[in-house]
C-alpha cells in the first residue's frame, strides 16, 4: 500500500513509490547512498527537491520500514526526524548504528534542547543536530561534510585492518568479512539447523 497519497507530486524529482512503505530514487551513478526518515510528507518533499539530483536517496515515512531497509541495504548517511510516532529519531538512529556502525547519523528537529542533544550524542553518536527550518545550502554543505567524514572513517578502518593482517593480529578472512558486512549488512549472519546446514530465509 503506497504511503504517499499523491505520487504524481514526485514525478519531476525522479522518484518511485516503494512497496515497503517509502520512496526510492531511481538508480543513479552516484556512489553515496542516503536514508531519510520523517513522518511528514512535506519534509520529505523538501529534502527531495534539495538533494535528489546529487545522491541516491531512500525516503521513508515509517521508521520501522526504514529500520527494516537498513538491515539489508548499506547507507553512508541517515537523516532522521526526532519526533515520530512509535519511535524517537534518537532511538531509530541508535538501532541503525548498531546494524551499520559506519553510517553517519544526523538528527532533524524543530526543537533544540540540551538534554535531547546530549542524548543524541551519547546514544546515537550523531554527527550533527540540524534544526527546522533549514537552509538548503547549509543542508547540502552538511551532507557533503558528513559523507567526507564517513568516507575518511571507513578508509582509516580499512588501513587499520590491513595493518592488523600484516602484523598477524587479524586473519585476511576476518578482514574480508568485516569489509563485506560494511557493504552488505547482515550478509555474514548465517543461521544453521541442528545438522549444521545453512538455513535460507525468504525475505518478505
Transcribe 53-90 into DSSP letters: TTSEEEEES-HHHHHHHHTTS--SEEEEES--SSS-HH
The predicted-structure confidence for 165-179, as pLDDT tens digits, reads as follows 788 887 877 766 666
Cell 503506497 maps to which residue?
2
Residue 133's pLDDT is what?
86
pLDDT in tens, 92-144: 999 999 999 889 999 988 776 666 666 667 666 888 888 888 899 999 999 99
pLDDT score recorded for residue 130: 87
d(CA 172, CA 164): 9
- What is the pTM (predicted TM-score) of this model? 0.69
- Decide if pLDDT at 74 tops 80: yes
The pLDDT value recorded for residue 9 is 32
Amino acid at each position: 500500500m503506497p504511503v504517499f497519497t499523491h505520487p504524481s507530486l514526485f514525478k519531476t524529482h525522479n522518484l518511485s513509490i516503494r512497496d515497503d512503505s517509502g520512496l526510492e530514487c531511481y538508480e543513479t551513478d552516484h556512489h553515496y547512498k542516503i536514508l531519510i526518515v520523517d513522518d511528514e510528507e512535506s519534509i520529505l518533499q523538501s529534502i527531495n527537491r534539495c538533494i535528489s539530483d546529487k545522491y541516491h536517496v531512500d525516503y521513508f515515512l515509517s521508521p520501522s520500514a526504514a529500520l527494516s531497509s537498513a538491515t539489508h541495504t548499506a547507507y553512508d548517511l541517515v537523516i532522521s526526524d526526532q519526533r515520530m510516532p512509535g519511535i524517537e529519531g534518537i532511538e531509530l538512529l541508535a538501532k541503525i548504528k548498531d546494524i551499520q556502525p559506519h553510517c553517519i547519523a544526523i538528527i532533524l528537529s524543530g526543537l533544540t534542547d540540551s538534554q535531547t542533544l546530549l542524548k543524541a550524542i551519547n546514544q546515537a553518536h550523531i554527527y550533527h543536530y540540524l534544526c527546522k527550518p533549514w537552509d538548503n545550502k547549509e543542508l547540502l554543505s552538511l551532507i557533503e561534510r558528513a559523507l567526507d567524514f564517513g568516507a575518511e572513517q571507513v578508509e582509516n578502518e580499512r588501513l587499520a585492518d590491513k595493518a592488523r593482517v600484516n602484523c598477524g593480529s587479524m586473519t585476511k578472512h576476518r578482514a574480508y568479512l568485516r569489509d563485506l558486512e560494511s557493504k552488505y549488512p547482515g550478509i555474514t549472519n548465517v543461521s544453521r539447523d541442528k545438522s549444521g546446514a545453512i538455513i535460507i530465509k525468504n525475505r518478505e
